[in-house]
Amino acid sequence: MAALAGRRGADIGKLSTILLFLPPALLLFTLFVVLPVGEAAWYSGFNWNGFGSPTNWIGLDNYRFVFDNRAFGTAFKNNLLIIVVSLVIQLPLALSLAIILADRFRGAVVLRMVFFLPYILAEIATGLIFSFVYDGDYGLLAAIYKSFGAQAPHLLASPQTAFAAILVVVVWKYFGFHMMLFIAALQSLDRSMLEAARIDGASRWQSLRYVVIPALSPTIRLSAFFAIVGSLQLFDLVMPLTRGGPSDSSHTMVSFLYTFGITRMRVGFGSAVGVILFLICVVFAFTYKRWIMRDE
C-alpha cells in the first residue's frame, strides 16, 4: 500500500509539472512557429506586394513560379552542395582535430580556443572580413599573388568561383563548433575501454576505428543533424560576400527568398519559398529522427 501511494504521489507530481510548464511552451510555440507558418501558407496563395490586404488569389501559382525559376534551382543545388561539403570535409576535419586536441597537453586549451573563435565571430562580420580577403586588388589574396608576381583572381566576381569561395568560409566558420562537440564527447569517453583495447594489443588506429568512433556515433549523428539543418538555413554569410551573385550563381534558398521575395516586394512568392523551405526542414528532421537517431 505504501508503494502504491508513493507511485500515485509521483504520478501526481509529474502531472503537476506538465500542467505548470506545458501551457506556456505551447503558447510560445503557437505564437512564434504555428501562426507564422500558417500565415505564410495563406499569403503564398496570393499575388501580393505586402501593402494592404491580399486580395488577388492565385492558388498554387506561386509554387509553380518558384519551381520554374532557374535561380531557385541553382539555390537548391547550392544548399545540397553545402550539405555535402559539411559532411565530407567539415565534420571529418572537426573530428580529426578533436581527437588530437582532446588529450591534455601544454597549449591544448589555447589551440581549442583558436579553432573555436571563428564560430564565435558574427556571420556578417565574417562575411565582411572575407570579402576583403578575397578582394583581387587590395585584399590578402591579392597580396599573396603579388608576392609571386601574379595577378590575383576576383573570386567573388566570377560565377565559376563565387560559391566555392563561400564554401571555404563555411568550413572555416563552423568546423570549430563541431570540434568542441567531439572534444566534449571524447572527454566523457570511458577510458577503461581504451585501456582494455591496448591490453588486447590493439594499435592506435584499431582503437580509433573499433572503440572511439563507435562510442562517438551518437555525437556524430547529432553533429551531422546540426550541419545539415544549418546548411539549409545558410543566409548571413552569403549576403555580405556576394548577395547571391554574380548572375544568381551563389544563392541559397534563404537568400533567394530574401532577394526575390522581400527586396522585390513579392510577398506571396517569398511566402511560397518559405513554406517550401519549412517543409523540407520538417520532413528532413522527422526522417532523420525516425531512421538515423531512432535510438537516441
pLDDT digits 0-9 by tens, 172-182? 999 999 999 99
Beta bridge partners of 46: 57
Once rounded to an integer, what is the mean pLDDT over residues 252-278?
93
Q: Are residues 7 and 123 in the same domain?
A: no
How many angstroms separate the first and last alpha carbons of the chain?
A: 36
Q: Are residues 104 and 30 in the same domain?
A: no
- pLDDT of 205: 82
Q: Are residues 133 and 197 in the same domain?
A: yes
Task: Check pLDDT > 80 for residue 11.
Answer: no
CATH number of the domain where residue 49 is located: 1.10.3720.10
**Percentage of residues in the chain having pLDDT higher than 70:** 95
Q: Are residues 195 and 281 in the same domain?
A: yes
pTM of the model: 0.89
Once rounded to an integer, what is the mean pLDDT over residues 151-177?
93
- pLDDT of 237: 93
- pLDDT of 116: 94
Q: Are residues 83 and 129 in the same domain?
A: yes
Count: domains in the chain:
2
Q: Are residues 71 and 29 in the same domain?
A: no
- pLDDT of 202: 76
Q: Are residues 219 and 73 in the same domain?
A: yes
Q: Which amino acid is at 93?
A: L
**Cβ partners under 8 Å of residue 98, min gap 6:** 179, 180, 181, 182, 183, 186
Residue pLDDT, tens place only, 118-131: 999 999 999 999 99
Range of the domain at 217: 44-291
Work out the pLDDT band at 6, boundaries 50, 70, 90. low
- pLDDT of 181: 94
Q: Are residues 9 and 49 in the same domain?
A: no
Q: Which amino acid is at 107?
A: G
In a domain, 29, yes or no: yes
In a domain, 261, yes or no: yes
Residue pLDDT, tens place only, 91-117: 999 999 998 888 877 888 899 999 999
Cα–Cα distance, 174 to 157 (Å, whole number): 24
Residue pLDDT, tens place only, 46-72: 999 888 888 899 989 999 999 999 999
Residue of 33, 255, 259, 247 whose CA lies nearest to 123: 255
In a domain, 296, yes or no: no
Task: Check pLDDT > 90 for residue 226.
Answer: yes
